[in-house]
Structure 1
Amino acid sequence: MAEPPIRWIQGQRVEGHGVASGRDPGSPYPAGTISLQSPRFAEQGLDLSDCFAGTLNLSLAPLELRSEHPDHCFERLAWTDRHPPETFRFWRVLVRHGDCAPQAGWIYQPDPDTKLCHDQPAAVVEVLAPFLPGLEPGASISLGVDPERLWTIDGARLRARLLEFFKFRVLAAQDTFFRDFRVPHSGALDPSQLRAWLQTAWPEALALSDRDLRLCCERAWQLYGP
């Protein structure tokens, strides 16, 4: 079976919260969250023993990473008693710095819908890899990815254009505009129904996440609704 093609995505190292590695003196996890989570991942079939027990934070700004079909997905993993279980997704990647040979690593993606604190900016990707010495903030790092499962978008531009796209429709229809996209009784926005409409109305917006779509709808309602 042929290996999938590799696309290289350029990023820059940025400082993280220091919670994953335990560097933050105010963290409730002195050993670091990765050290606590890794044994649970190993139980589920993912061995991270060759990786540094902390995340490498890469900014892809102004781009944002989009992903599907992870190599591993651990749903509602209970790894601490300090907050409810979290969902984690992993993608195998290559990590390249300067003239050094690429090393195998993982994109580490806690699901933002289950992560209660320490949210990352939309343009930042967390990576687990062997220790790479001499990486100062701003250092250039490349990720070798499967482009069928990992790709980048200009999220800020798409969100701004979607908000503008909503503007005159909300002004014209007012409270009836979002009615067809809401769940009966609860009134919550149903992203699947909104996506079905966008497929015909403006398919470019489908590159945005469900979370982005919800936030754009809420913002449009605040700005232009009754």
Structure 2
Amino acid sequence: MDKPTAMTPEWITIKGTIREGHQVASGIAKDSPYSQGTIEMQTPFFKQRGLDISSFFPGTLNVKISPYKFKLCNPQYTFELVKWNLGSPAETFSFSFCQVIYNKGKYTGLIYYPHPETKPNHFQDDSTLEILTQPLDFIEYGHSIELNLNPTEIDIFSD
């Protein structure tokens, strides 16, 4: 069976809620050491490795899926020890394509997963997915959202 793409329907769907993140990915946090935002700073490094995320908004949607948790098991992309900022240690990142369903629209997205074992700070819990996608009109914290996820790349489970 082919992996799900925007053209195939073999997805698992999970509901979640938009929650506020650390606002470091987008660079809008007042105390962020990365005024440009980490996503914008990382984009050329991912592109050099074969993943162009420049069409997505340079920030993440934080989607809380509790009571469920997730584990990326076979992501489409994993980039080991990316040195994207001179003042930070190298980090490992994984990505899995997904679909974002919001306000009667369906949008291409990517799960953005900075591996916690290499990430210096600004951690997410294991029930919050960070999603890269295009800007979504009228989205706000607390809004419900659905995600279509690739079941060959991510496990969704509860305790």
Tell me the TM-score range normalised by the shorter chain. Answer: over 0.9
Instruction: Render the CA deviation track for 1:134-187: whole Å, top value 9, x for unaligned.
Output: 111111111111222223111xx3xxxxxxxxxxxxxxxxxxxxxxxxxxxxxx
More strand by share: 2
Distance 2:20 2:128 in 1: 10
Partner of 1:6 in structure 2?
11
Amino acid at match of 2:150: D
The one of 102, 107, 110 aligned to 1:103: 107
**Cα distance, 1:7 vs. partner?**
1.1
1:92 alignment counterpart? 97
CA displacement, residues 16-60 of structure 1 (integer Å, 9 cap, x when unaligned): 101000011111100100000001101111011110000000000
Letter of the 2:94 partner, please give it.
R
Q: Which residue number in structure 2 is paired with residue 46 of structure 1?
A: 51
Alignment of 1:20 onto 2:37 = no
Q: Distance in 2 between matches of 1:148 and 1:69?
A: 7
Q: CA deviation at 1:2?
A: 4.7
Which position in structure 1 is the counterpart of 2:153?
149
Corresponding position: 1:118 with 2:122? yes
Q: TM-score when scaled to structure 2?
A: 0.92
Q: Deviating runs (4+, > 3 A) in structure 1?
A: 1-4
Structure 2 residue runs of 5 or longer lacking an equivalent are: 5-9
Aligned residue pairs, count: 154
Answer whether contact 2:96 2:150 (CA < 8 A) is retained.
Answer: no
Question: Quick check: which one's helix share is greater?
Answer: 1
Q: Which has the larger radius of gyration?
A: 1
TM-score (ref. length: structure 1): 0.66
Which of the residues 9, 34, 38 maps onto 2:39?
34
Q: Is the 8 A contact 1:13 1:140 kept in 2?
A: yes
